[in-house]
Amino acid sequence: MLNSIKFKLLIWLLIIFSFIFTILGLFLDYELEVVIFDQLDRSLTHTLQTVGNPLIMEASHGQLPMELWELANITTGIFSERLSGHYYQITSLKGEVLSRSPSLGLADITLPIAGASAIPTFKTIRGPNNVPLRLISQSLVLPDESTLILEVGVTLEDTYTVLRSFRDIVIIVFPAIFVLSAIGGLIITGWSLRPLKMFSSKIGQITEENLNTRIEDVRVARELKPLAESFNTMLIRIEDAFQRQQQFLSDASHELRTPTSIIKSYCDVTLSRERTANDYKEAMIKVGESVNRMCDIINRILIVSRLDNKALKLKPVRIDLIEVMKDVIKIIEPAAANRDIKMSLDGRSVVIRGDTEGITAVFTNIVENGIKYNKPGGNIHINVDEENNQAIVTVRDTGIGIPSEEIPKIFERFYRVDTSRGQTVGSGLGLSIVKGIIEAHGGRI
């Protein structure tokens, strides 16, 4: 399950949603607190002005201070109820409490004395019954140049209740949103991966019997089109490889059928009646020739198989190609003499790194073809040279030639030009092996 794309997408969606909802919840909580406290501070400022303005007005009329304090004692409204949560207090600069709201007096509680500041100052303190209060304080300069400190406080119980309720709602809603997000994520990921499932289903319908089937780009989601194109390209290669394998097996069976038919024929004829020792000897010679041909075909098939699987082990050493060509001529010379074919070699010493046995086999096969398909009394000329830091070996003969339209096919396995098929015996694998060995050395033919 951990390797499931759907599971991973769902986990990532839930992580992202959780992160977003957490940030959103914290942001809303912060903003709500800011808004509530801002409104509360505005209300406190208004209350401060409501309480302080009468004091300044009465003082401007020449009222005595004691009379002023009596006027300041508001005995009605929210300031008269015991522990109503709304309080005020007036003190002198010396800290003497000159007046305070009945709501504080009834509780026999005194607000902390604030410092003098002409600018309204806000702070949160602990009030009656250890209840949190929001407090505003400001110093007032009266016309007689005396200074008072006025404090107005309001309980934060309701404010904190609202904030707690909001947080409780968030705590309750968040799991619900998480569950809904999980359900929605399952639906979304399932819907998003549907094209991939359809694509997989189409691929699953392709077998060795319908390798020519292709995934149509028109019916594939845009994101999967590159994958469809790559898969179609791979199918083309697989189909081509499969066809070549089938052709290879067919050709190999055909090539092996000829010598086995010869062996069976000689065995049947020879054993049909009593024969002389010479007859048996001649039959065994023919059988041996067919067996040798079968062994040659099988060995070549094994080499082709190793080349296909990159399993042909090369032993690269320093090789002088001119010396290799001399060895090839020595090997081939008896066969050339039998057909009165003259061979010549020129060029210069060119040293490469390669597998001695493989390189020798390559040029032996090429020169053998030059003899096999040459005319009696013909010529074969070999030249060894170097150009642009590359070794170049050229083999020319006076043979029957190859039609131009057949040249691209001569390196195909079991392929033989029609004009030579009936004149010479061969497996049709020689040039295919030659090309494979040359390319394994990083060369080309």
Q: Clarify whether residues 292 and 361 are in a common domain.
A: no
Among 308, 340, 363, give the residue marking a domain's end.
Answer: 308
Can you give the pLDDT at residue 178? Answer: 82
Q: By the 8 A CB rule, do 432 and 413 touch?
A: yes
> Has residue 209 been placed in a domain?
no
Can you give the pLDDT at residue 27? Answer: 92
The CATH number given to whatever domain includes residue 401 is 3.30.565.10
Contact partners, residue 307, CB within 8 Å, separation at least 6 = 433, 436, 437, 440
Q: Which domain holds residue 261?
A: 222-308
> Has residue 194 been placed in a domain?
no
As for how many domains the chain has, the answer is 3
Among 163, 185, 209, give the residue marking a domain's end.
Answer: 163
Which residue is listed with tokens 């309480």? 51
Q: What are phi and psi of 138, to 5 degrees?
A: -160, 140
Q: 74-88: per-residue pLDDT in tens?
A: 444 566 555 567 777
Q: Clarify whether residues 257 and 351 are in a common domain.
A: no
Global pTM reads 0.47
Q: Clarify whether residues 113 and 18 are in a common domain.
A: yes
Can you give the pLDDT at residue 75? Answer: 46
Q: Clarify whether residues 259 and 396 are in a common domain.
A: no
Q: Clarify whether residues 267 and 395 are in a common domain.
A: no
Can you give the pLDDT at residue 69? Answer: 47
Q: Clarify whether residues 243 and 286 are in a common domain.
A: yes
Can you give the pLDDT at residue 385? Answer: 93
Q: Clarify whether residues 27 and 86 are in a common domain.
A: yes
Per-residue pLDDT of the chain (445 residues; tens, 9 = 90+): 556 777 777 788 888 888 888 898 899 999 999 999 999 999 888 888 877 776 655 555 545 344 444 444 444 456 655 556 777 778 777 777 777 777 766 554 455 655 567 788 888 887 667 778 888 888 877 766 777 888 888 888 888 889 999 989 888 888 888 888 888 878 877 777 777 777 777 777 777 777 777 777 656 667 667 777 887 888 888 877 777 777 777 777 776 777 788 888 888 888 888 888 888 888 888 888 888 878 877 877 777 777 766 767 788 899 999 999 999 999 889 888 988 999 999 999 999 998 888 888 889 888 988 888 888 889 999 999 998 889 999 999 998 888 888 877 777 766 666 544 444 455 667 788 888 888 888 888 8
Q: Clarify whether residues 149 and 36 are in a common domain.
A: yes
C-alpha 372/C-alpha 425 separation (Å) is 9
Can you give the pLDDT at residue 114? Answer: 55
Which residue is listed with tokens 């074969």? 380
Can you give the pLDDT at residue 369? Answer: 86
Q: By the 8 A CB rule, do 72 and 61 touch?
A: no
Q: Clarify whether residues 10 and 156 are in a common domain.
A: yes
Q: Clarify whether residues 60 and 136 are in a common domain.
A: yes
Can you give the pLDDT at residue 76? Answer: 45
Among 138, 163, 188, give the residue marking a domain's end.
Answer: 163
The CATH number given to whatever domain includes residue 72 is 3.30.450
Residue type, 267: C
The CATH number given to whatever domain includes residue 267 is 1.10.287.130
> Has residue 349 been placed in a domain?
yes
Q: Clarify whether residues 289 and 329 are in a common domain.
A: no
Q: Clarify whether residues 335 and 392 are in a common domain.
A: yes
Q: By the 8 A CB rule, do 386 and 413 touch?
A: no
> Has residue 327 been placed in a domain?
yes
